[in-house]
Structure 1
């Protein structure tokens, strides 16, 4: 498997990409960051129960994702990405192990 930092990064970025659209229109970057940091702590505790990442490591991963997502993601960009995926994946159904693992973790956490 991948390293704990990489796993947290991959899981959290997917959540951030979905959740950013809830925060950008009428909330602040700090609101978004604090929500993602809370989620990162929950993911870390669930996915790394015996050897969790330190708060500083979680903070670094979270800051990286939040800064990039806040700066580079908008409703227009999301719509363009979805449209591109729709034409690219017509007729395909993705069900990867990673997606299943993340969905199970989120079911437990939320």
Structure 2
């Protein structure tokens, strides 16, 4: 593992925890300390990253997340995710095109896969 793996793990942790820290009244310095502490805990690589690299990664992530991640941003992100998801896996964005063609779902996808059905037909 390398610095990029560490960056991804720290970034992921930061996105999960930033709202809690801000809601509890933490300041930027406290947030940075928390991110650095978590980065040190996650530094279980073989060989582990040097402390200076862990420090640089945590500082970068902490600063970026603190400055850019707000409640409004979180709500907008959740809204986008909600609009994108929430459909049953058996339903496409267009609904259930196999029903309009009078086909079973399995037959529809079999024909689609084999090229006997052009996707624009539905």
Q: TM-score, normalised by structure 1?
A: 0.73
Aligned counterparts of 2:86 and 2:59: Cα–Cα separation in 1? 34
1:18 equivalent to 2:16? Answer: yes
Asked which structure has the greater RCO (Cα within 8 Å, sep 6+), the reply is 1
Q: Flag the structure with larger Rg.
A: 2
Aligned counterparts of 1:69 and 1:77: Cα–Cα separation in 2? 11
Aligned counterparts of 1:16 and 1:58: Cα–Cα separation in 2? 14
Q: Which runs of 5+ in 2 are unaligned?
A: 90-122
Aligned length: 88
Aligned counterparts of 2:5 and 2:26: Cα–Cα separation in 1? 28
Match in the other structure for 1:32 = 31
Match of 1:84 among 55, 80, 84: 80
Q: Deviations over 1:35-58 (max 9, x none)?
A: 11111111112xx0x300001100
Match of 2:49 among 40, 50, 53: 53
Shift of 1:92: 7.4
Q: Deviations over 1:43-100 (max 9, x none)?
A: 112xx0x30000110011111111110110111111110110111133479xxxxxxx
Aligned counterparts of 1:57 and 1:72: Cα–Cα separation in 2? 23
- By percentage of residues, which structure has more helix? 1
Q: Which runs of 5+ in 1 are unaligned?
A: 94-110
Match of 1:71 among 64, 67, 70: 67
